Amino acid sequence: MNRKGDIISEHMDINRVLDNLRKNDMDAVYAENRDHAKKIVREMLNKDALIVTGGSITLEECGITDMINAEGYRIADRADKSAMFSSDFMLSSTNAITEDGILYNVDGASNRVACLCHGPKKVIIVAGINKIVKNFEQAVLRVKHIAAPKNCVRLNRDTPCAYTGKCISDDINKGCSSRDRICCNFVVSAKQREKGRITVIIVNEELGY
């Protein structure tokens, strides 16, 4: 057990995760730290590009949110579905990455997972090593025990997990009945048909939740 609860995310072989993401036809890049991640993202973007962001603590902690705001990039309004889906880049983090190279994301409004699946020409995912989990079961638990409760507190959602720190059930098919629930669509990104549309930057730091 690690200090964040039941989720085992330590001692993962990052190179194996990167290789398995590549086997799933995602580009996978290692970043030494948050500044390195920001540099990689900056080099991938071009100034004329239209960018949509997934509202991510990881992007904030890496200084990427400030960078795109300060350096004159065009940012799509998340209320404008047509701009979002026609954007050049989507920047986001992910709720979990399994050792065998899948991304797991759970969303309420679901614009983030919608753009991850379809629309933006290029998706850039920035994730700290704390997002790496052993398998799919651990990914589900990671959301229910860490990501969703913390996001509910951050977003001031009236959900059980915001008060107790974990979901009412560990079963993927069970959860709360709150109108504020943020776990509505559960997306697994496995082998991609469009090779390299998704780039995953794994940062050798704990970032976001």
Contact residues: ligand SF4, CB under 6 A: 144, 148, 152, 159-161, 167-168, 175-176, 178, 181-183
Shortest distance, position 131 Cβ to ligand SF4, whole Å? 17
Phi-psi map region of 189: left, alpha, beta (phi>0 left; psi -120 to 50 alpha): beta
A 10 A CB-CB count for 142 gives 29
SS3 126: strand
Sign, CA dihedral 85-90-93-98, equals positive
Q: From the CB of 6, what's the least distance to ligand SF4, in Å?
A: 14
**Strand 103-107's sheet: what is its strand order?**
132-133, 96-98, 103-107, 185-189
Residue closer to ligand SF4 (CB basis): 34 or 145: 145
State the minimum distance, in angstroms, from the CB of residue 62 to ligand SF4: 25
C-beta of 22: minimal distance to ligand SF4 in Å? 31
Would you say 128 or 175 has its CB closer to ligand SF4?
175
* Exposure string over 40-52, b if 16+ CB within 10 A, otherwise e: bbeebbeeebbbb
- Please name the helix (run of DSSP H) or strand (run of DSSP E) that holds residue 116, with its range, or none: helix 111-117
User: Looking at beta carbons only, is 65 or 151 nearer to ligand SF4?
Assistant: 151
The distance of closest approach from Cβ of residue 28 to ligand SF4 in the complex, given in angstroms and rounded to an integer, is 28
Whichever of 54 and 108 has its CB closer to ligand SF4, that residue is 108
Which C-beta is closer to ligand SF4: that of 97 or that of 161? 161
Please state the closest distance from residue 115 (CB atom) to ligand SF4, in A. 21
Position closest to ligand SF4 via CB:
175
Q: How far apart are CA 146 and CA 6, in angstroms?
A: 10
**Neighbour tally for 71: CB within 10 Å:** 10
Please identify, using beta-carbon distances, which residue of 123 and 176 lies nearer to ligand SF4: 176
